A and B are shown apart, each in its own frame.
Chain A
Amino acid sequence: GAGVSQTPSNKVTEKGKYVELRCDPISGHTALYWYRQSLGQGPEFLIYFQGTGAADDSGLPNDRFFAVRPEGSVSTLKIQRTERGDSAVYLCASSSGTNRLEQYFGPGTRLTVT
């Protein structure tokens, strides 16, 4: 496909469990971003990768949240000891190295923590 894909589309987990959310960026895009969107709000920045390294992780709310991008393509957002307040839609976006201005978003993963 041509767009950003995210899996799973929905994830329901119990409080205290560990979850992984996956993002496949547009092929060839070197920059990758994670955002979180709570109900009725705009997306909130979490972390930005340029290649394999996290260039800006200032939006990660606490140390339960971690993201990796080991080969500079697919990225995984990992949340430990989930809390009900983590329930949100997690959005991934990517942009090309030559035009970071245009971020293209995936459909998101809806995470529900019960």
Chain B
Amino acid sequence: GEDVEQSLFLSVREGDSSVINCTYTDSSSTYLYWYKQEPGAGLQLLTYIFSNMDMKQDQRLTVLLNKKDKHLSLRIADTQTGDSAIYFCADAYSSASKIIFGSGTRLSIRP
């Protein structure tokens, strides 16, 4: 079945880069997403990448996709305290009718 896995926790120093990793099992996945969830807030779509792309950059965010290894990563440059949140990796088929989420990685920032 479909599965998306991510590590549970990541701690980084303010100003450093954060790299959150994810693996997925379904080779038919067409779209891969990163969502952000802050305490008491809804899920915020950060970015997504098509499976025929290797990389996507959007300001401080860089998404890398290794389709052969089914590995997705999110790099946040110059991590700030406002980046503290849970980050969810997710995938979807070409129909994009439903999104399969991982369990989330909690990113904490230390001074």
Bound form: Cα–Cα A58–B98 in Å: 10
CB atoms of A56 and B42 under 8 A apart? no
Nearest CB on A from B57, distance (A): 18
Bound form: Cα–Cα A91–B90 in Å: 15
CB atoms of A48 and B97 under 8 A apart? yes
CB atoms of B103 and A41 under 8 A apart? yes
Q: Confirm or deny: A63 has a beta carbon within 8 angstroms of a beta carbon on chain B.
A: no
CB atoms of A40 and B31 under 8 A apart? no
Chain A interface residue bracket vs B: 20 to 34
Nearest CB on A from B28, distance (A): 16
Chain B interface residue bracket vs A: 20 to 34
Q: Is the interface of A mostly helix, strand, loop or mixed?
A: loop
Known: A42-B90, A42-B102. A56 touches B43 (CB 8 A): no
CB atoms of A33 and B98 under 8 A apart? yes
Chain A contact residues, CB within 8 Å of chain B: 3-4, 33, 40-45, 48, 55-56, 58-59, 91, 93, 95, 100-108
In the complex, 30 of the A-B residue pairs with CB atoms within 8 angstroms, ordered by the A residue number, are A3-B42, A4-B42, A42-B4, A42-B88, A42-B90, A42-B101, A42-B102, A42-B103, A43-B43, A43-B101, A55-B97, A56-B97, A58-B98, A59-B98, A91-B42, A93-B43, A95-B96, A100-B95, A100-B97, A101-B31, A101-B48, A101-B92, A102-B48, A103-B45, A105-B42, A105-B43, A105-B44, A105-B45, A107-B41, A108-B42
7 shortest interchain CB distances as A-B pairs: A42-B101, A45-B98, A105-B43, A100-B96, A107-B42, A105-B42, A48-B97
